[in-house]
Chain A
């Protein structure tokens, strides 16, 4: 099946990422396409017809697997790549052909790109000095930024004498002193170790709240996208899949790609066909039968495609251990029997890897309450929260319950 053929659908606040007339738009990406290629190799479409309006002060995160076009999109906003088609507007000005320096942007690179032959202070003042700011203003701004980032005691050091986290702060500082209208960040946390990454993530959130500037942030890490973004743009194969607030994407993925990409551990996908019965629809899988709730039934009624080859999506946390549930917390036609393969206690809950009783290769995961006493190799009965299941068309990947 092909995820890429599915089209982005209307989200509650935007259509295709473009905004209403009365919103304060800072950056506009208008029908931008980027094609790489030369006479020798085949052309590669890195970004295809991208339309996004970015609001003032918004923290917008581009997320997607590697090669999905997210970095290329950012570099086109920065002016480091020229779009093959389409326009980029910043502050209502068409900057498509402009040099990076003429765009009022600051950028944080994945490798920080600190100038090795300059001290921290020189690095941070470089964007101001090249623009001939007066010395006292440079001094003030660098000191302020250094205070904000708690690197005031490092100003005389060279980048090579700093740890990764400190280099990261200097790179941020160099962007902040510019007081740009837009911050661009290209996977700024990916070179940090796991613990520092989580810590810097929180700090980035704080800094964004204090500085309040429009930020476009690129990451392959869906957890960063969820925690940082006011809105998240999911890209795949150079095409916009969905744009919206993180929780909205999590609850209402437009297609199977978004459903599988957002959320950790990822959503389970199980093949089903829909059978019509007297009292409604039933989703029939290899080892379970779920009676569909009213919302889903309405969606199935409106769906004019095939009902035989669908995929049921259910998040791990929507599968509970039946043995620790009360009688009234589940219904008869929402349960399935499976075999426990691996138990990973996380403290707050337990991650289970379970398989079908008949087919060892059909693996899926469940996130159950810590009181659950299952052991590997034991059978288990799980109850699915049917209000939260999704049905995807196998052919287009489209979420028919969206």
Chain B
């Protein structure tokens, strides 16, 4: 091989590496991240700015409010009694979370530990109910709630939320329990535990990060759920905030400032939950952090 060939080979290699080095360089990474963050932030930024205007001032077409005011918040929460929707959302999300965790944790444990006739079919059945597009179930669900007299009621929404999120949480908990060695349960049973005690004293404490993650996700998901809540409720007495926000979109006009204020009110709890609990979400979803 001649020197020229060698030089060409090396140059080519270095050129190629140079391209990848550039892609990995802090400048490029920061640039890409900045675009991603902006994409997420700008709508929220717009929403906060708009919420500081009045419904009339929105049409002044300035980016920043000329006379920043909290009047939209006051109007929405007190004037329109939207505090009720916030309370409803808290009740719905909390009740849903409690119900889902009580059901999903033992179910996930059972699926992770016990082999029984038809266990796989049952598990796929659980997941399948979630693969079904929810919109396809809206009409029967409305019918059922109507028969049960649960339209315009909190239980009518909570049942829907539990139905929606339980399969996913069973799946997450099953995977989390599978990352806990079966040896530990068996050892506990030899040491003197019943099967239920082995679950309560050994497996459950070790699965707490997964339980926390499931609880937080259930809370967030049911907080923001819109479709089922929309068809079950027409009344602010039982309406969650996610649906209530939509009330400002009228047939002929949109009350932009009120809509923005209501949206910010709906988002704030979500942000707080994520800020305070993100560590659990991450650790819970990266199951397998538990080494034998």
Contact = CB atoms under 8 A, between A and B. Distances in A.
Given A115-B184, A130-B197, A78 B190 contact: yes
B189 A117 contact: no
Given A111-B183, A111-B292, A130-B197, A117 B205 contact: yes
Contacts of A107: 186-187, 190
Nearest to B197: A130
B192 A109 contact: no
A239 interface: no
Most buried by A among B115, B181, B187, B206: B187
Contacts of B197: 130
A105 B190 contact: yes
B186 A99 contact: no
B240 to A, nearest CB: 37
Given A126-B191, A130-B197, A80 B181 contact: no
Interface residues of A, number: 26
Nearest to A160: B291
Contacts of A109: 183, 186-187
A44 interface: no
Contact of B186 (A38, A100, A106, A174): A100
Interface string B265-292: 0000000000000000000000000111
B113 interface: no
A210 interface: no
B159 interface: no
A22 interface: no
Interface string A119-133: 000000011001100
Contact of B191 (A39, A130, A160): A130
Interface in B156-190: 181, 183-184, 186-190
Interface in A91-141: 99-101, 105-107, 109-111, 113, 115-117, 126-127, 130-131
A166 B217 CA distance: 39
B129 interface: no
A101 B192 contact: yes
Given A100-B189, A101-B189, A101-B190, A130 B181 contact: no
A178 interface: yes
Contact of A117 (B115, B183, B206): B206
A124 to B, nearest CB: 10
A211 to B, nearest CB: 17
Given A115-B202, A116-B290, A80 B183 contact: no
Given A39-B117, A111-B292, A117-B205, A130 B190 contact: no
B196 to A, nearest CB: 12
A374 to B, nearest CB: 48
Nearest to B189: A100
B193 A130 contact: yes
A113 B181 contact: yes
B194 interface: yes
A38 B120 CA distance: 13
A131 B184 contact: no
Contacts of B10: none
Contacts of A79: 189-190
B291 A113 contact: no
A107 B186 CA distance: 9
B190 A106 contact: yes
Interface in B26-56: none
B206 A100 contact: no
Given A101-B190, A101-B191, A130-B193, 9 more contacts: A39-B117, A100-B190, A109-B187, A115-B184, A117-B206, A126-B188, A127-B191, A130-B192, A178-B191
19 contacts: A39-B117, A79-B190, A80-B186, A80-B190, A101-B192, A101-B194, A105-B190, A106-B191, A107-B187, A110-B183, A111-B181, A113-B181, A113-B186, A113-B187, A117-B206, A127-B192, A130-B191, A160-B291, A178-B191
Interface of A: 38-39, 78-80, 99-101, 105-107, 109-111, 113, 115-117, 126-127, 130-131, 160, 174, 178, 184
Interface of B: 115, 117, 181, 183-184, 186-194, 197, 201-202, 205-206, 290-292
